[in-house]
Amino acid sequence: MCPRACRANPEGGSGTVYIDTHCHLEMVEGQFPHDVVARAREAGVDTMVTVGVDLASSAESVQTASAVPVVWAVVGIHPHNAIEATDAVLAHLRQLAGHPRVVGIGETGLDYYRDHSPRDEQRAAFEAHIELATALDKTLVIHCRDAHDDVLDILDAAGAPERTVFHCFSGDIEFAKRCADHGWYLSFAGTVTFRNAPELRAAAASVPPELLLTETDAPYLSPHPHRGQTNEPARIPLVAAALAEQHGMTPEQMGQLTSANARRAFALPAEAA
């Protein structure tokens, strides 16, 4: 695990600034987004990016980002819902994506683990999201599970946007290197803290520091020692602490590093809004 780094103020509150680059604020059951954001701010989380998974949740993400200055939105159709990505839905998505509080397109990509949508539908939706991100100069946020080769093939064929993020990175060292060689950002969630994830920590250790990002994927994937509980952005310091251990940094240093990376990855303002 991360005994040294995680003991150093593991849940924030020291004045260190963190950014949660991927959460679903509207999905934290029984909580108002404003309450979740308030707890995150108390833990030192300066900025949050809330992400849609379908047209309705994407609209909610934009609404939240419009109402809460420290929140930004990413809009898109999750691979699980790719079958819903009709021309009409994609047209509405393009309208949403033009909002000034939208910084990215996604989460999109391929999920061959659950296959909730046919793979050809997933690939078509992924290609449409790549085109949209490129056309609007937005960051592409990728969900990739058990589909590494196909994701890379599509990105190579379509041309990845200038700013591309692999959310909740789950690959090995080899895949991490292939992504890093392209200059893509790799975002790590609570899974990097799990006791049964030494391979993922090894992959995290191999990533160039300037390409590292932190996320919670809240309300999912709560980090150790909260695994199995409802997650929220206030727990991002635990993810940063785990990454810090792998890179020989303090959690505070990792927070500063990944916050600067996140501002580049999503073209965010230099200071909190």
Domain CATH number, residue 245: 3.20.20.140
Give the pLDDT confidence of 161-201 residue by residue, as tens digits: 999 999 999 999 999 999 999 999 999 999 999 999 999 99
How confident is the model at residue 29, as a pLDDT?
Answer: 75
The answer as to whether 220 is a domain residue is yes
| Number of domains forming the structure of the chain | 1
Angle at 39 between CA 35 and CA 42, to 5 degrees: 140
How confident is the model at residue 6, as a pLDDT?
Answer: 35
CA atoms of 137 and 132, how far apart (whole Å): 8
Tokens for 65, please give them: 């980002």
Tokens for 246, please give them: 């792998």
The answer as to whether 190 is a domain residue is yes
CA atoms of 160 and 250, how far apart (whole Å): 33
Which residues does the chain have with pLDDT short of 50? 1-10, 272-273
- 216: amino acid identity, one letter: T
CA atoms of 261 and 239, how far apart (whole Å): 15
Structural domain boundaries enclosing 173: 18-265
- In the chain the beta strands, taken as DSSP E runs, fall at 18-23, 45-51, 71-75, 102-111, 139-145, 164-166, 185-188, 212-214
Tokens for 248, please give them: 């020989």
Alpha carbon 174 to chain centroid, angstroms: 20
Give the pLDDT confidence of 237-263 residue by residue, as tens digits: 999 999 999 999 999 999 999 999 999
The answer as to whether 12 is a domain residue is no
CA atoms of 70 and 88, how far apart (whole Å): 31
Tokens for 16, please give them: 């260190």
* Residue 128 neighbours by CB distance under 10 Å: 22
Closest among 59, 62, 68, 58 to 38, alpha carbons compared: 68
The answer as to whether 272 is a domain residue is no
How confident is the model at residue 15, as a pLDDT?
Answer: 66
How confident is the model at residue 4, as a pLDDT?
Answer: 34
How confident is the model at residue 120, as a pLDDT?
Answer: 98
Alpha-carbon distances of 202 from 1, 131, 230, 242, rounded to whole Å: 11, 33, 26, 11
How confident is the model at residue 187, as a pLDDT?
Answer: 99
Q: Max alpha carbon distance in the chain (Å)?
A: 52
Percent composition of the chain: helix, strand, coil (DSSP 3-state, to 5): 50, 15, 35
How confident is the model at residue 10, as a pLDDT?
Answer: 47
The answer as to whether 35 is a domain residue is yes
How confident is the model at residue 2, as a pLDDT?
Answer: 36
The answer as to whether 207 is a domain residue is yes
| Packed helices 173-181 and 198-206: angle between N→C axes, nearest 10 degrees | 30
The answer as to whether 257 is a domain residue is yes
The answer as to whether 61 is a domain residue is yes
Angle at 239 between CA 241 and CA 258, to 5 degrees: 80
